[in-house]
A = this chain, B = another copy of it.
Amino acid sequence: MRIMDPNVRKEQILTAAKKLFSQNGYYQTQIADIHREAGVARGTIYQYFKNKDDIFETLLEKLYSDWEKLLLTGDIKSNDYMEVFRFRVKQSFEFFFRDPEYCNLLLRVALGSGQNFDRIIERFNEKLVHLIKANLREAVNIGRVRKDVNLDLATNLLGGALSRMLYYYTVIQKNAGFSIDLDELVDGYVNIVAYGILAKQ
């Protein structure tokens, strides 16, 4: 029994929980697993978290606020809409590449864990949608994006494509041991989204 800085201890538990939730999902991760993985007594967990839900929510809240922070910082000054867009996309890739467990947690586990966490997921969604849609709208206004694109549709298309790529390249491929060139990915994404896949005639 070693007394420890409460923040460190809390982090210790969260780290274990993140790993296990990400690996096995919410319902297939037991409190017993977490306390074992964290090297902490079972009861200790309940000094830092109200219950299992609370751990999971804390993880998601942290993910959300980290992401939000990222979006606020490191802004780019450019007049080219595509440049800005490219920057944002790269940021997201970097963010999730650094922490694939987060990626898995958000894009798979939380999504499928039932209505308990719908509210939180919704917050992510809204933020993402808002971000893309607002940018798109502006780009339409300045004539950079075609006037005939349906904003809602485009937003979902871009968002879905991004999510899937994040998931694929950070979770699936990385697990398989592939090394990936970030810039290549981002370029690939932006390119298709911008110009489509068709060859020029």
> A residues near B, CB below 8 A?
24-28, 82, 108-115, 136, 143-147, 149-150, 153-154, 156-165, 167-169, 184-185, 188-189, 191-200
Q: Shortest CB–CB separation between residue A75 and chain B, in angstroms?
A: 22
- Is the pair A156, B164 in contact by a Cβ cutoff of 8 Å? yes
Docked Cα-Cα span, A91 to B198, in Å, equals: 21
Inter-chain pairs besides A146-B198, A157-B188, A193-B197, 16 sampled, C-beta below 8 Å: A26-B27, A28-B115, A110-B112, A136-B197, A144-B198, A145-B198, A149-B192, A153-B185, A153-B189, A154-B197, A157-B192, A158-B161, A160-B160, A161-B164, A164-B164, A195-B198
From A29, which residue of chain B is reached at the shortest CB distance? B114
Knowing A25-B113, A111-B111, A188-B150, the reply to whether A163 touches B160 (Cβ < 8 A) is: yes
User: Is B165 a contact of A157 with CB atoms below 8 Å?
Assistant: yes
User: Chain copies in the assembly?
Assistant: 4
In the complex, A201 Cα to B102 Cα: how many Å? 40
Known contacts: A115-B24, A149-B192, A157-B189. The answer to whether A199 contacts B144 by CB under 8 A is yes
What residues of B have a CB within 8 angstroms of the CB of A24 in the complex?
A: 114-115
Partner of A113, one of B112, B154, B197, B199: B112
What residues on B are CB-neighbors of A194 within 8 Å? 196-198
A153 to B172, CA, bound (A): 13
C-alpha spacing A188/B155, complex, angstroms? 11
User: Which residue of B is nearest A28, CB measured?
Assistant: B114
Give the CA-CA distance A193 to B195 in the complex, in Å: 8
What are 26 A-B interface contacts by the 8 Å CB criterion? A24-B115, A25-B113, A26-B27, A82-B198, A112-B113, A145-B197, A145-B198, A146-B198, A146-B199, A146-B200, A149-B188, A154-B188, A154-B197, A156-B164, A156-B165, A156-B169, A157-B161, A157-B188, A160-B162, A160-B163, A192-B193, A193-B196, A194-B196, A194-B198, A195-B198, A196-B196
